[in-house]
Structure 1
Amino acid sequence: MSVEQMFKDMTYKRCACTTAVLDEEGNPVVDDETGEPKLRYLEKTCPQLTRPNHGSWYYSFEVEPGADGKRRPRAKKGRYRTQEKAATDAKEAWNLAQRGVNVVSTETVETFLRRWIKAKKLELAKTTAHEYERDIDLYLAPHLGAVRLNKLRTDHVQEMINWFEEENERRTKHREKVERLKSACATANGAWRAAPKAEKAEKRALWTAARVEYEAERKQVRRVTGPNTLQSLKATLRSALSDALKQELVAKNYAALATWPKPVPVKPKLWTPQNVARWRRTGQKPYPVMVWTVDQTAEFLDSIRDDRLFSLWHLIIFRGLRRGEATALTWDDIDLKRGIVHVSHQLVSINYEVHEDTPKADSEGDVRLDQETVRLLKLWRKTQRAERKEWEQQGAWVDAGGRIFTQENGEGYHPQQLSDRWERLVDLSGLPPVRLHDGRHAAASIAFASGQDPKVVQAMLRHASRRTTMDIYTNVMPEMEQASAEASVALVALALERVRRAKAKKAKKKGKKPVAA
């Protein structure tokens, strides 16, 4: 028997024609309630099935017992127009079954994803689990949820990706339309205000109509789903289907086979004079991630030198700790004698609720402190102890488990509180805006400007590899080369000055006239 014939033998034809139910004597059986004859489907026995366009084709075959040895339902599917199509799908289903896939399961993608994330949360970091749940709720379940898991294919995933790209184009065009309406509204408003009294009513009516149209369209503006969001979806779906593959629920990891948009790496850029001028002119950051120059960082530190949390800002700016890592630090994590901070946990905010979690992947480790940071932390410890004594006398001290950076009453900081405070300090300084997280980038910029090797910067930032550090700071390093070169010259100039002073002092002792510089 040929392979083609084998799968054709798994097919059969049936229809929805009916005939009267007969009793043993051959008489129609009547329904007692309706008084109508009872009917039954002819299915495979319909005499008209020999006609090409009558009925539909189905396939059916026996499936191997499950791992528990129990017999499974037969694999069935129908409503095919041709026997060839039914046989083709029978072959595909049979091959999947031979590879261990449970082809008779009716579980949908959404049901599986909900079941998967419920178990997966036990081994994931809280922030990762939150991101996975968000991706499932907002994107994967709405687009793929209704598909049966064992029927999922690359085409389904690709259709979802294509929908996002097409929808993004529509949303971008709509945003452009809203901007045009906004401009037209502003023009109409100016025309109304500048119009002579006799024309004001007419101009006001035009402005009102323009404003109504603008407001109606503005309410319909939707955020574009960017490449980085799609990369997050890819990671979530790949992880889920990887586990489904291990459970023999799918034949392949179809998320890995689809073509996804390439992620757009967000690289920091310096607040050069040109970028600052553009910001002052437009009020907008020229790039998503901006970093101060060394001079701007020095200006900021000088402007906040009297802030209560100066030691915290100094630690972030010079040693590159993340916000959550700094807020989670305890005095047990730091060795001021050796000048080392051990980063082993962080505070994360999920829907504003704070959780303690492990650091980002490969970010756990030791960070060496400079002498100035050690000095500031020692002063801060004295301040904290004095505050504790005062608040304990009032019976109002809150024990935050030995956290280094606490409020006056000992209570720990919510990570967002630090971001809000940083933002206010930046605003008061008059400098261009930089996020608290970008203080970490400042640490790297200062390190590069001082001529440190990228390997040293990698260790400080606790990146997984030197390449990661180089990829992130490709845009910053060329602009820092001049500062590094100037720093080298300045270093030698200082040494030269010390040599000259020493020579002059020696010559003075011998009573000789100093050599002119």
Structure 2
Amino acid sequence: MTHPDGTPVLNADGKQKIGHLERACPRLKERTHGSWYYAIELERDGTGRRKRAREGGFATQAEASAKAEEVWRASKAGVNVLSDETVSEFLARWLKKKKTELKRTTAHEYARDIELYLVPHLGALKMRDLRARHCQGLFDWIITDNERRVEHRAKVAELVEAADTASTAWRAAPTGNPEEKKERARRRAVWTAARDEYLTERKKLQRTTGPATMVSIKATLSSALGDALREELIGKNYAQLLALPKVTKPRALAWTPPRVARWKRTGEKPSPVMVWTLQQTAEFLDFIVDDRHFPAWHLVLFHGLRRGELAALSWDEVDLEEEVIHISEQLVSISYEVHEDDPKADSVRDIKLNRDSVMLLRAWREKQAGEREEWTAAGVPISAAANRVFTKEDGSVYHPQFFTDRWDRLGALSGLPPIRLHDGRHEAASMALAAGVAPKAVQAMLGHASLRMTSDTYQTVLPEMHAATASASLDLITAYRRAEQATKLGHASVEVTGGYQVQPARPEKAAEKRAMKRQRRRVA
């Protein structure tokens, strides 16, 4: 602050006093001096107290007026325009509350999305100022940054190729006379520089944020803004107005001979989700029949268990007399830390076992008991935690990742084209549907919320089903033509092939042809 003559106004400590002169400022009439404020009277609260919204720092009166109108409209829509809570503060408060009611894996996904995406891009905004354009800007940035990451990955690929070329040139250089040694040293220096540049850029590699992850981020934001709307911190759930890239679920494909040949030639999988043919499945089962965990793989391939369900399965939930297992628990891995959790609501289910599964589980229980007796006799303490079905020899529980790693190892040793452990669920669904099991029964076995998910996501048309489908329509029209011609000709024999009729030769016509041939020979 200053006096009218320009001298500073001092506090008691001798420092210049700082404050807002507002209309008392002597330079107020200067067009380029100061900034504009707005102040509006809001509706009184429930106690009848006055509420006033005030904000400054606008360069022009028009900007201040537009902001005042925006705040007034938001207030009339029920938004608490006096709240100074930022997006970051709200999300922290919201996540703390949601953790008490969410599944552990869902809470982990929410925390990841908030930490990596929402707070860095929206956290500094006040909730009352958040708009759809800010939320859309986050996803526009993700799409643009993805392009940068793809370009950077291509650059790293070029750098590793250049480093390999430089390494080959250096190692191929002769080491005879001093000039050759000098050239070899120069080539090594080139290789060292290329290698260092590659290693530096490799550390900066980042995976692209795919459409599925964007959908997850949007879901987290939408859930948070839904609660913010109920708290009257915002006027709309802006996440519901976002435009995102379309998510196309990968289609499950079967390992047909041409696809296997291409995989052997290039090492590429035609789709992230692949299943074996019936022949390949039989070969895999024959190959792993002596594996210690064969009963577990049998449950995956024929009953569609998830790895978390496999790791959590307890003998208390296995009824071999009724030939049923009850899926009521799963083990989940979050940052490699294992937690017990309930399955999704529709995944709590009873699965009827086939006869081989019952036999294998009976034999496995005896084998497990024998192993524990041997360890006990050797003086090794036995862990019987939760009475799990699939455990180590000493009774301790496996980490869910063990089943994934072991499956991948067995698949590689078998020489068969690769499928993931989770693809075993696709295999179970495909074989059941190919065998004529009702889709609704397959849905219940897999624990899906809807029949559409079972049909669209997990049903792979195996080559054996293709062959049956290809001939079905032809057989239908063939049978129709055969019946139609039999009706017209009475008991006459009609041969029908490929949907087209082939009339038998008439005896009288054949006799006429033979007589004409004899007559022509006599004339000649």
User: Which bin holds the TM-score, normalised by the shorter protein?
Assistant: 0.7 to 0.9
**Structure 1 stretch displaced more, 215-224 or 244-253:** 215-224
Among 281, 288, 296, the alignment partner of 1:304 is: 288
**By how many angstroms is 1:190 displaced?**
3.0
| Structure 1 residues 3-82: aligned runs within 5 Å | 18-19=2-3, 31=11, 33-34=13-14, 41-46=20-25, 48-64=27-43, 69=47, 71=49, 74-82=52-60
Q: Which residue type is aligned with residue 133 of structure 2?
A: D
Would you say the 8 A contact 2:318–2:324 is kept in 1? yes
The answer for the alignment partner of 2:92 in structure 1 is 114
The answer for the alignment partner of 1:331 in structure 2 is 315
Q: Which residue type is aligned with residue 463 of structure 1?
A: H
Note if 1:85 corresponds to 2:63: yes
The answer for the alignment partner of 2:495 in structure 1 is none
The answer for the alignment partner of 1:174 in structure 2 is 152
Among 451, 463, 471, the alignment partner of 2:456 is: 471
Normalised by the length of structure 1, the TM-score is 0.82
Note if 1:408 corresponds to 2:393: yes
Relative to structure 1, the CA distance from residue 37 to residue 162 in structure 2 (aligned partners, 3 Å threshold; closer, same or farther) is closer
Alignment size in residue pairs: 465
Relative to structure 1, the CA distance from residue 130 to residue 331 in structure 2 (aligned partners, 3 Å threshold; closer, same or farther) is same
Q: Gapped runs of 5+ residues in structure 1? A: 1-16, 22-26, 489-517
Would you say the 8 A contact 1:135–1:233 is kept in 2? yes
Would you say the 8 A contact 2:430–2:462 is kept in 1? no
Relative to structure 1, the CA distance from residue 324 to residue 208 in structure 2 (aligned partners, 3 Å threshold; closer, same or farther) is same
**By how many angstroms is 1:40 displaced?**
5.7
Would you say the 8 A contact 1:18–1:39 is kept in 2? no
**By how many angstroms is 1:292 displaced?**
1.9
Would you say the 8 A contact 1:423–1:436 is kept in 2? yes
Q: Which residue type is aligned with residue 312 of structure 2?
A: A
Q: Which residue type is aligned with residue 35 of structure 2?
A: S
Would you say the 8 A contact 2:349–2:445 is kept in 1? no
Tell me the secondary structure at the aligned position of residue 74 of structure 1: strand
The answer for the alignment partner of 2:206 in structure 1 is 222
Tell me the secondary structure at the aligned position of residue 292 of structure 2: coil
1:32-87 CA-to-partner distances (Å, cap 9, x unmatched) read 543x78676421233553554443222122344556x4847631112223333322
Distance 2:237 2:16 in 1: 53
Q: Percent identity?
A: 54
| Structure 1 residues 197-212: aligned runs within 5 Å | 198=180, 200-212=184-196
Distance 2:443 2:234 in 1: 40
Relative to structure 1, the CA distance from residue 188 to residue 47 in structure 2 (aligned partners, 3 Å threshold; closer, same or farther) is closer
Normalised by the length of structure 2, the TM-score is 0.81
RMSD value, Cα: 2.9
**By how many angstroms is 1:331 displaced?**
2.1
Distance 2:294 2:436 in 1: 26
Tell me the secondary structure at the aligned position of residue 44 of structure 1: helix
Would you say the 8 A contact 2:330–2:341 is kept in 1? yes
Tell me the secondary structure at the aligned position of residue 49 of structure 1: coil
| Structure 1 residues 91-490: aligned runs within 5 Å | 91-195=69-173, 198=180, 200-393=184-377, 394=379, 396-473=381-458, 476-477=460-461, 479=463, 481-482=465-466
Tell me the secondary structure at the aligned position of residue 21 of structure 2: strand
The answer for the alignment partner of 2:515 in structure 1 is none
Would you say the 8 A contact 2:303–2:428 is kept in 1? yes
1:233-286 CA-to-partner distances (Å, cap 9, x unmatched) read 011111111111111111111111121222231332222223333333334434
Would you say the 8 A contact 2:383–2:395 is kept in 1? yes
**By how many angstroms is 1:314 displaced?**
0.3
Q: Which residue type is aligned with residue 23 of structure 2?
A: K
**By how many angstroms is 1:335 displaced?**
2.3
1:99-120 CA-to-partner distances (Å, cap 9, x unmatched) read 2211111111111111111110
Relative to structure 1, the CA distance from residue 413 to residue 478 in structure 2 (aligned partners, 3 Å threshold; closer, same or farther) is closer
Tell me the secondary structure at the aligned position of residue 140 of structure 1: helix
Tell me the secondary structure at the aligned position of residue 367 of structure 1: strand
Q: Which residue type is aligned with residue 448 of structure 1?
A: L
